[in-house]
Amino acid sequence: MKRARATPASVRTSPGLSPTPPQKRFPLHGAAASGPPQGSGSPFFDYENAHATGTERALTFLPDRDEQEWEVLLSYTELRRFSTAELVIKRGDRERALYLLTAGTLQVRTDERSATFKTIEAPSVVGEVAFLDGGPRSVDLVAATAGELRRLSMDGFEALSARHPELGRAILFDLGRIIASRLRWITDVAATGNG
């Protein structure tokens, strides 16, 4: 597997069916990064509100991991660049991989004929359900802008977990926590009728 090296990034997940995600800025890269933002827990993204709200914190992937652990994680990923209007992930495909959207914006559609019902901006994690359950992709992701993803295949994850078991466990528990947070949100919306 060919591995590309990139600046580490703490990544926020797409908030599922929730309202507009919290405001954020693109990552600080290289020399521009002058250390972790005050209170952010991660030195890789400079969130405008360093003291994350409960929702924002619940949807942030690996917020408490340090630069060295992000370097390890990214060393097991493959870099994939995409162009505007490119179909990045196709509904129905069976591919057990997790994607870290590090640059750009993706549009979410149920199929090629449907309208966009949501956008996902970097930094975000996408594809976590298919990564965990091995099922088919549930939506199309189309590039609204040019950008890049870091792809963590199941083989890459297994190799990472064999060499760094604590980090592997942390990835799984964090993905589970994020999915549980979304499920709680959906349950609350259904229970209160506010959607």
Which pLDDT tens digits describe the chain residue by residue (195 residues)? Answer: 444 434 444 454 443 322 223 333 323 222 222 233 333 344 343 334 334 455 556 678 999 899 999 999 999 999 999 999 999 999 999 999 999 999 999 999 987 788 888 999 999 899 999 999 999 999 999 999 999 999 999 999 999 999 999 999 999 999 999 899 888 988 988 888 875
The architecture (CATH level 2) of 25-192 comes to Sandwich (2.60)
Q: Using the CB atoms, write b or e for 42-65: b if 16+ within 10 Å.
A: bbbbbbeeeebeeebebbbbbbeb
Cβ within 8 Å of residue 133, ≥6 positions away: none
Which of helix, strand or coil describes residue 105?
Answer: strand
Q: Where are the domains of the chain?
A: 25-192
**Tell me, what DSSP letter sits at residue 102?**
E
